[in-house]
Amino acid sequence: MKKSSKTFFITFLLLLSLMSIIRPVFSKEINKNGRQAIPVLMYHSITEDSRKIFSVNKKDFYNQMKYLKDNGFNTLSLDEVYEHMINKKPFPEKSAVITFDDGYKDNYDNAYPILKELGLKATIFVVTGNVDEGSYYLSSEEIKKLQRDNIDIQSHTVNHLKLSKLTQNQRIKELSDSKEYLEKLLNKKVKYMAYPYGKYNENVIQDVMEAGYKMAFTTNQGWMNLDQGMYSLKRVIVGGHMRMGTFKKLVKFD
Ligand SMILES: [Zn+2]
């Protein structure tokens, strides 16, 4: 071996061993490339003009959705997510999930036309005790219309209480009654839920399983991945004051 090629060979070996040390640090990115992890966006209110911590303005929402559309993102329904999770099958390239909590009427007025125009799928976790209760929340007719049009409706319990603070009986009632209500209204199985205030513990998870839910979403910040527990799935919180640059970073696949 010539001296130069020997030096090259040693350098190569050194680099290789260095890579194996560094590699775990970049495991998140490796995951993303391997389609093991995806962002599940969490919205609440989509307002006409104001911006608050949990209220994203309609114009900003449009820009965010347009960005996903123009950049080839593939929006998944929760049934599709579940299929990948249960089979540990990598997600389709550049997948994302769009979710809304609470069931505000402005989801129908402001978010729905945008999602429809751009052909994006989404899920709304509805607080069923608020349905048909005043102008602030979705009506049962709106919920039916959304479900028919690619906006999947799932449960956010009946009364939006902290599940970890309830007795087991109260908790089961919150979980089962909301599920039953939506199943009857929409004539479909309701299999997924989001924890009110993101509050959960081992007892809550047991009861969520008992009530027949297959996956549950938290408010813990981060991407969900194939190895996360089915009942502690992370989401990406989209705040009302978020700049477009931050949004792009949050959904960026490396
Ligand atoms: Zn909520």
CATH of domain 36-250: 3.20.20.370
Q: Which residues contact 54 (CB under 8 A, 6 or more apart)?
A: 44, 45, 239, 240
Identify the DSSP state of 26: G
How confident is the model over 85-112, as a mean pLDDT?
97
User: Which pLDDT band holds residue 64 (cuts at 50, 70, 90)?
Assistant: very high
pLDDT of the residue at 20:
43
Distance 195 CA to ligand 1 centre (A): 7
Distance 140 CA to ligand 1 centre (A): 18
Q: In the predicted model, what is the mean pLDDT of the chain?
A: 90
Partners of residue 46 on adjacent β-strands: 56
Distance CA 59, CA 205 (A): 37
Distance 11 CA to ligand 1 centre (A): 55
Distance 202 CA to ligand 1 centre (A): 20
- This prediction has a pTM of 0.87
Distance 70 CA to ligand 1 centre (A): 30
Distance 10 CA to ligand 1 centre (A): 57
The answer to whether 64 and 219 are in contact (CB under 8 A) is: no
pLDDT of the residue at 52:
87
Identify the DSSP state of 92: P
**C-alpha dihedral sign at 142, 147, 152, 155:** positive
Distance 101 CA to ligand 1 centre (A): 5
Q: Is the pLDDT of residue 168 over 70?
A: yes
Distance 177 CA to ligand 1 centre (A): 17
pLDDT of the residue at 42:
98
Q: Is the pLDDT of residue 33 over 80?
A: no
Distance 59 CA to ligand 1 centre (A): 23
Distance 22 CA to ligand 1 centre (A): 39
The answer to whether 163 and 171 are in contact (CB under 8 A) is: yes
Distance 24 CA to ligand 1 centre (A): 35
User: Which pLDDT band holds residue 50 (cuts at 50, 70, 90)?
Assistant: confident
Other Cβ atoms less than 10 A from the Cβ of 117: the count is 12
- pLDDT tens, position by position, 107-156: 999 999 999 999 999 999 999 999 999 899 999 999 999 999 999 999 99
Give the least confident one: 14-28, 116-130, 231-245.
14-28
Q: How far is CA 74 from CA 23, 81, 228, in A?
A: 28, 12, 21
How confident is the model over 74-84, as a mean pLDDT?
98
Distance 136 CA to ligand 1 centre (A): 14
Distance 196 CA to ligand 1 centre (A): 5
How confident is the model over 70-99, as a mean pLDDT?
96
Structure tokens at 235: 């989401």
Distance CA 193, CA 178 (A): 10
For 44-172, where are the E strands, in sequence order? 45-47, 55-57, 74-75, 95-102, 122-126, 151-155
Partners of residue 40 on adjacent β-strands: 97
- pLDDT tens, position by position, 170-212: 999 999 999 999 999 999 999 999 999 999 999 999 999 999 9
